[in-house]
Every structure is written in C-alpha cells, then in structure tokens.
Amino acid sequence: MTSNEQANLSDVALEKELLGMWRRELKDDNLTIDDDFFECGGDSLLAIKLLLEIEQLTGKTFPPSIIFETGTVRQLLERVIKTDKAQPQVSVLVGPEQGKIIHFFHGRFTRGGVTVKVFSKMLGTDYRIHAMSPHFPHEGKLPNSIEDMAKERLQKILEAQPKGPYVLVGQCNGALVAFEAARILVSMGEEVKAVVMVDPGIMSVRRSAQFIFMAADFFMRLMVIQKNQRRKHLLWVSIKLARTDRWWRRALFFFRKKASPKRSSKKKPHLQKLSHEWKELQNLKQHYNNALLDYKPLSLNVPLLYIALRFSGYAWRRITKDTVFINIFRGRHNPWGETYGPYLANKIREFINF
C-alpha cells in the first residue's frame, strides 16, 4: 500500500483492515471489534508482530504498548485516527472493575506493558491491575532518582485507589519504584498490605559492590580524574558486576541441575523493531542506570516478596528482614511465560492474600 493510499484510507476501511488482522493473527473468523486481543489468545510477541502490520498499513508510528492499552479494534481505531504518533500512557487499568487493585510498575521500556495482560490473566478475575510505565521523555523532565520516580507516580496510585490497604508489585526497575512508593504511602499513614519485587537489577544494595565502588572512586580521585569521568567508570563497573552476577547464577544452575527451557539463539524477524527502539532509548537507559547507581534503599517494615530470576536478591535481607524469597536459577528476566509464569502468579496470589 502506497503512502497516498494509507492517507486516504477511510475509517470504515481501516476498521475492516484491523479486524481482519485480529482474525488472521488469532485464527478466529468470528471475532468482533469489541473482542479483546489478549483475552482471545494473543500474547506479547504476537502483539509486536501485529503492531508492525498496523504501522505499515497506516504509515504512522505507535508505541509497543498501544495494543495493551487498547485491546480491542474499536479502542485501537480511536487512538489510530486521533494521532499521527501516539505516546505510551502513564497508567492503564486492566481487568474487572470489581477486582481488588494491584498497582503494577512493569518497568518495560520497549514492549510497553504488553505482558501486563498476560500477568493479569494468570492472576485471575479477582484482581484488577493498575499498570504504570517507567518515566519517558515525553512526560517532561525525567526524575533523577528512584525516590523521585515514586513521588511522581504517587498521584496515579491515589487516583486509582484513594485509600488502602495497598498492594504494590514491580518488575525490574519498577520493583524499586514500587518499594519507594510503599515507603511514601506508609509515611502518609496508609496501610501497605504487601510489596512484590520481581528481579530488580540492583547492585548498590550489596556491601561487596559498595566496597568496590568506594575503592574505585578513591583511586580515581588519587589519579585526579574529573567527577563526570569517575561517574562513567563507576557505571561501567556496575554493569560489569551485574553481568558477573548473571554468570555466577548460570554456573550455579549447572551445579544444582535445575530444569530450564532451551533458549533459541535465533532472532525473530518481527522483533527487529524492539532492537531498533532500544538503540533509540540508550539515553533513557543511561538515565536509569545513573538512578540505580545512586539508589540506597532504607529499611521498610512491610510484607515483602522478592523474586530473583536473572539477578541474585539475597542482599535485600538487610533492607527488610522478613522478606520472603523465591530464587529461580537461570530464570528469564521477563518471567510471564508458560515455564515460570503460572507458578509465580500463584505464589504472588498466595502472598497478597495472607
């Protein structure tokens, strides 16, 4: 389809094309414009593939989260018509209106909150997910610390749920924002029933890492290296430590002989978009790495479930002594697949219902 044909595509024709995509990808000719993509069998990889087809059809660019944020052809059509380049929404409610609210900081930069609907489906109909994205440049000035990120998202939490008790779940960098949001709520006199942290890649909590950072900074000062250059070197050290941590967990996996699915080394063609977007988001990644390097969490007396997948989390015991740990060796950083997803969702459900 040429650019002129794309521009002249009527709303009715566009609706027909989108519905055709829905039916073709989900292999169901009876789907209507009000059937939800994920409830009808769609997953995160299929959503990205569908997104590429929509962009080719319309000649417009959309964030990967748009399939997750809309779900149906009717809602998607409204977003597609209204804008030439949609931005990710800060927060989205997923699930039945009568469900108990779980505030979920999904922490994903490139796939948006696509996996949130998979997680929601695994939790069941008793829960409603309030999914919140990381901070993106289109929102304005990026917060410089994890604590400030939590403050920025607090209003969204209170809008979705004015009073507690609160349940907060976070994945990757979002796990740390969820932890700090819980601290703010407690300081306000609100009840936090539970916090769940899923595989945050945080090095600054460990005493061994703190010693390495301090020693590296000391020797760089002796060498009269400027502050901004010292900062770059410390970030490099932090990344290397994280990679070493993953290497050791893989080594322990082989010694403990845990079962793990085989991973394909092939790159799926429809995931090329993700790699391209990730290159464009290098500055954002750098901003978050800076925030992680500076983050020094204080103790917080709330029930906490810590799920370690690619990164070890035992150092967190010093932060919250009553932490319940689930340690999966050689786990995937995004765990909501068939291998670990149902098991972890069940454990989370048990924990927040204690």
Q: What are 102's strand-pairing partners? A: 129
Cis check for the bond before 165: say yes or no (omega within 30 of 0): yes
CA distance 332 to 199: 9
Model pLDDT, residue 249? 56
Tracing tokens 């900081």 back to the chain, one arrives at 105
CA distance 33 to 12: 12
| The pLDDT of residue 164 is above 60 | yes
**Tokens describing residue 203:** 């090095």
CATH superfamily of 3-82: ACP-like (1.10.1200.10)
Task: List all residues 6 or more positions away from 121 whose beta carbon is below 8 Å from its beta carbon.
Answer: 38, 39
DSSP alpha helix (H) spans, the chain: 3-7, 11-26, 44-58, 66-70, 73-82, 114-123, 146-160, 173-187, 207-222, 227-256, 272-280, 282-294, 341-352
Model pLDDT, residue 13? 85
Q: State whether CATH 3.40.50.11810 applies to domain 91-205+286-352.
A: no
Per-residue pLDDT tens over the stretch 286-325 = 778 788 878 888 889 899 999 988 777 777 877 887 788 8
The residues spanned by each domain of the chain are: 3-82, 91-205+286-352
Per-residue pLDDT tens over the stretch 100-148 = 999 999 887 765 566 787 888 888 889 999 999 888 776 778 899 999 9
Task: List all residues 6 or more positions away from 76 whose beta carbon is below 8 Å from its beta carbon.
Answer: 18, 54, 66, 67, 70
**pTM for the predicted model, two decimal places:** 0.71
CA distance 29 to 94: 25
Backbone angles phi, psi at 136, to 5 degrees: -120, 155
- 10 Å Cβ neighbour count for 119? 25
**Tokens describing residue 189:** 């006199």
Per-residue pLDDT tens over the stretch 168-192 = 999 988 999 999 999 999 999 999 9
